[in-house]
Structure 1
Amino acid sequence: MVRANGAVSLRELARVVQTSEVTVRRDVRALEAEGLLDRRHGGAVLPGGFTRESGFPQKSHLATAEKTAIADLAAGFVEEGEAIVVGAGTTTQELARRLARVPGLTVVTNSLLVAQALAHANRVEVVMTGGTLRGSNYALVGSGAEQSLQGLRVTRAFLSGSGLTAERGLSTSNMLSASVDRALVQAAAEVVVLADHTKLGTDTMFQTVPTDVITRLVTDEPPTDDDRAATELQALADQGVQLSVASAAAVPGERQPPEPPSAGPGHAGAGRQQQRRGGVTLPGQRGNRQNNGGSPGPAPSLRGAAALPDQAPGRVADLAPRRR
């Protein structure tokens, strides 16, 4: 499966071979010891280290259920009449499909796949950057793309990447893609990163978004035995990144806009309750890059993502990052 797709998630492997993820993880370690593949957090890829990047066909088959859940949750943060930028990637492509129903929306993108997903959305205006086509991910890159973003200002940027760590933030394996992503970030007041659990703890060659610039991470709930992902999520929350955790098992519903935050002690983000279908929202210390003040009260640790509070399906539990 790794040779055919370039990458595969442990969840998908366990489903195909009808065994537990614990068993699959043990077998993947044995295959890595033989040099047949490289383990990545929550999955495995062909050997290649920091410089290797899977193409679109390979990425489109990796963590598909997780990407769908992430896209469903992220779409709820987009409101009518907004102007946003959406970067290239299979997860952002899933997001774009859900944005087609948002009236008055303006989407600036360097991704042909994102533009294609919105091509028939009559109420959405799509603005493409210039640049040179990079065929492996159907994205426009280079100086033309970067120059077309100069002077642009939008409310939010939605970006994906190859890896995400609390230490370096979001990263990718391609220098040209990283440069355009940085230009997209400069155009936005807030930065929302879309990354499934297989990318948590993975560090790739070129940094695109430092951790202190990320406003929110939308991800899926890691497997119960995935301590590394849980640790990374806690570290991100400790640095003030707001975490919205989607359930891949949730049934996708109709897009719902975010509810306005309720007033509470501490600062504007403290104590707020946000409803998301099939997701868990964990506000961080930072609402956006312009508002870093205040400090939330003490909160439970995120250590072990499976230890989230019990909740009815579709309900949301609000937690804040652990204070140091």
Structure 2
Amino acid sequence: MGAEMQLTTERLQQIELILQERQHIRVTELSEQLGVSEPTIRRDLKKLESIGRVRREHGGVSVATSTTTEPPILQRVTENIDEKRRIGQMAASLIQDGETIFLGSGTTTLEVARHLYNKKNLTVITNALNVAHQLAGNENITLIITGGVIRHSELSMIGHIVEQTLKDLRADKAIISMRAISLQDGLTNVDPLETNTDRVIIQCARKVILVADHNKFDKVATGVVAPITAVHTIVTDDQTPLSTVQNLRELGLEVHLA
């Protein structure tokens, strides 16, 4: 990520955090608080408005009334369920007995967890409560739960505690999901507080496997996690456009269609 893009991304995240506290703020106040010009702030707000995060008003900005970070995980459990089950089964087949894996939060990663029942001597690290619950009764799995601050909508743990724990651990493979995936903008997330945690997760494993149904592609969210090439393998469903699959393979990524 270029230095300028990183600064812009960090500033967008700061604006969202400020709005979470204030709900409404004037452009002049944002300019003073963030130490950049008003034209720069207006360009930032235009970007946030384009993805439905804020509503611009005369001289200021407020949180978009229709904006949610994303539907809660309990609402998403039945979305594209057949595709997610196939993706979960295929991703689980890439895991070998005796490996240490990180398994992230999300509805698709939960399907991966459900297909690990026949694996032997696995160690699974997770920051997801639903994944931990799914695996807790499996005596063939050594389960490590990271701890951290609960993000209730995702049943996941984020923040400094998770990040510090993962800095002390190494996995053979990290299996993650992501809210938005783009060839140009890479892996992005809608929650600015979760972005740093996602970055540390990617760094804890020798190989990163991204599980994502077709709806996640060609989308961009506010917080940049990593370029698409930070991923080694993508498991998706057969409704993902073939042009997208081909472009990913040309970048050197291994792509499996479930």
Q: TM-score, normalised by structure 1?
A: 0.58
Q: Which residue of 2 aligns with 1:241?
A: 253
Q: Which residue of 1 aligns with 2:191?
A: 174
1:210 aligns with 2:196: no
Superposition map of 1:240-279 within 5 A: 240-246=252-258
CA distances 1:54-106 after superposition (whole Å, capped 9, x unpaired): 11122112111100000010011101110010110000011011113211000
Q: Would the aligned equivalents of 1:71 and 1:91 in 2 still touch at CA under 8 Å?
A: yes
Q: Would the aligned equivalents of 1:87 and 1:181 in 2 still touch at CA under 8 Å?
A: no
Considering fraction of residues, name the structure with more helix.
2
Q: Choose which of 36, 53, 57 in structure 1 pairs with 2:74.
A: 57
Listed as ranges, the gaps of 5+ residues in structure 1 are 1-37, 39-46, 224-228, 247-324
Cα displacement (A) at 1:48 = 4.7
Q: Distance in 2 between matches of 1:180 and 1:201?
A: 23
Change in Cα spacing, 1:233 to 1:162, as seen in structure 2 (3 Å) is same
Q: Which residue of 1 aligns with 2:89?
A: 72
Q: Choose which of 206, 212, 215 in structure 2 pairs with 1:189.
A: 206
- Following superposition, which runs of at least 4 residues in structure 1 exceed 3 angstroms of deviation? none
Q: Distance in 2 between matches of 1:61 and 1:116?
A: 18
Superposition map of 1:73-222 within 5 A: 73-222=90-239
Change in Cα spacing, 1:231 to 1:48, as seen in structure 2 (3 Å) is farther
Q: Which amino acid aligns with 1:143?
A: H
Q: Secondary structure at the residue paired with 1:137?
A: coil
Q: Percent identity?
A: 32
Larger deviation: 64-73 or 207-216? 207-216
Cα displacement (A) at 1:115 = 0.5
Q: Distance in 1 between matches of 2:70 and 2:209?
A: 22
Q: Distance in 2 between matches of 1:168 and 1:191?
A: 18
Q: Distance in 1 between matches of 2:134 and 2:88?
A: 13
Q: TM-score, normalised by structure 2?
A: 0.72
Larger deviation: 153-162 or 205-214? 205-214
Superposition map of 1:297-308 within 5 A: none
Q: Secondary structure at the residue paired with 1:149?
A: helix
Cα displacement (A) at 1:170 = 2.0
**How many correspondences in the alignment?**
195
Q: Secondary structure at the residue paired with 1:116?
A: helix
Q: Which amino acid aligns with 2:195?
A: A
Q: Would the aligned equivalents of 1:158 and 1:191 in 2 still touch at CA under 8 Å?
A: yes
